[in-house]
Amino acid sequence: MLEQILKDMYIEPALLNELNEDQKQQLFIKLREEQKRRYREHEREWEEAEAKNKLKPKKSPKPGKAGKPVKTVKFLTGKDNKEWVWVMGEHPNDQSIEHMLQKEAQEKALQQADKEAEELRKKEELELRRQYEEDRRRLEKHKAEKEAEIRRKREEAELYQTLKEARLEAERLEKEKKKTEEEEKKKLQQLQEIQERNRRKSVERADTYKNRRSTEIYSKWKENREMFERMAIESNKEVEKSWKEQEKKAKEAEQKRREMARQARKECIESLKRVNNKIHATNAFKAASRLPPDLKPPLPPKRNVLKDKNVIKKSKPRTEPLPPDRKSVVEWFVSEEKPKGAGIDPDTGNVAEWFHGIISRTDAERLLEKKAVGSFIVRVSERVWGYTISYKAQDRLKHFLIDTSDDGYQFFGANQVQHETLSDLVKFHKETSITVIGEEKLLHPCGQIVEPPDHAELFHSQLQITPL
């Protein structure tokens, strides 16, 4: 199945949904490796063809339209006639990244403080201008009232006094008017001086505020940067710690796989030895049958009583990479898997509690959603020639495809342990986790909750059903 996917560089979406995250990552890695291999092969062929001058000359760029120049990109070249490259930090006059960041932060802090100080200065100037206008209007009003009073007194004097008295009174009123004007002018000048002093003080306060505020902003930026650096260091420590734990688990899992491979090689060698012993014994027996009656034949080698577990019944090659319909899956199970004892408990001879028929992913999740962590079922897949283990994890439900295309049972992907029977795979992963990171162990099998059971069409109700 994996070879077919790598050949087509395509996987059906329905089949992809059946894979869990680890299997998807493994499949992506395999597809990427195949893509790189094809790319290198294509590059090698291209270089060979170019060496033999069999490549066609490249087409010249199309000329631009009338009146419009052709857009081109030219790179600046250095003394060596190669693209000019400037690597920051290599020149002695280059500033360090830390210095550049600090300088940029100081400039931003100064700009922000300058903006705030300018807004504060404008606000104070607006208040001073308003106060000055109020005082100026008050003085003008007082001046107008004073002039009106003087004019009224002069008119009264003209009515009731003699000419001499009226002239004297007019002179007195004129002096009083001039005195009042001088006082008003002096007060107005004082107001202008006060306004100018207040404006200068406002500018000074704005400058002081700008310097103080820029220092505060820069200090706050520096504190935030130091805090982020501490958080980044702590996060890196946690990531490194998690990575080391995962690496340790991966090494332990790799050691287990190596030990299993070593044991498999050992059993294979022992099996070959037993086969050779049988061949030698057969040859000796045939040779003894041709000897004269008075000669005794040599003794055959002792028979090894160990059972050969490496002999796997070869299944017929499949004409289609994926099952076309449900009927084909049923026929495949009845003709190929049922004779192997798939789904049968070897201890009781009945259908295993964990075995289910052709049920959908949704039904499997509904069956396991209220079960304890570690609960699982093995269901016949309608997407591939194989099975799917649906597993209840701590945070979610997981699904693992079991491939049967190599006359054995193994999880989908590369470097997977192959088992002789489906029961052996389930039994093995009761003690060994399916993935290193997830630590999925098949602890609690989940049985049937419907009648008739969902695997009735596979066994035709001829076997006893294990109750829930």
Model pLDDT for residues 225-265, shown as the tens digit of each residue: 888 888 888 888 888 888 889 888 888 888 888 888 888 78
Residue 86 lies in a domain: no
Dump pLDDT digits (tens) for 180-231: 778 878 877 887 788 788 778 877 877 887 788 888 888 888 888 888 888 8
Task: Examine the domain organization and report whether 335 and 230 are in the same domain.
Answer: no
Asked if residue 145 is part of any domain, the answer here is yes
In sequence order, what are the beta bridge partners of 388? 379, 401
Residue 302 domain-assigned (yes or no): no
Q: How many domains does the chain have?
A: 2
Q: Which of 463, 340, 344 is nearest to 404 (CA)?
A: 340
Tell me: the pLDDT tens digits for 276-304?
766 766 666 556 555 555 544 444 443 33
What are the backbone angles phi and psi of residue 139, rounded to the nearest 5°? -65, -40
Task: State whether 236 and 342 are in the same domain.
Answer: no
CA distances to 245, 427, 442 from 431, in Å: 20, 8, 8
Evaluate whether residue 73 is within a structural domain. no
Q: Is residue 149 part of a domain?
A: yes
Structural domain including 378 reads 326-459
Same domain, 103 and 211: yes
In the listed set 245, 264, 287, which residue is the last one of a domain according to the structure?
A: 245
- The answer to whether residue 43 is domain-embedded is no
pLDDT digits (tens, 9 = 90+) for 378-391: 999 888 888 999 99
End position of a domain, from candidates 190, 218, 245: 245
For the entire predicted model, the pTM comes to 0.39
- Sequence length of the chain is 468
What is the distance between the alpha carbons of residues 318 and 315, in angstroms, rounded to a whole number?
A: 9
Residues 19-28: pLDDT tens digits?
A: 777 788 888 8
Any domain includes 76: no
Q: Quick one: 141 and 236 in the same domain?
A: yes
Query: What CATH number corresponds to the domain at position 363?
Result: 3.30.505.10
113 and 228 share one domain: yes
Pick the last residue of a domain from 203, 225, 245: 245
Asked whether residue 239 falls in the same domain as residue 372, the answer is no
pLDDT tens for 110-131 read 888 888 888 887 888 888 788 8
φ/ψ of 60, rounded to 5, equals: -70, 150
Decide if pLDDT at 351 tops 50.
yes
Check whether residue 228 and residue 114 sit in a common domain.
yes
Whether residue 275 is contained in a domain is answered as no
Facing residues of 392 across strands?
397
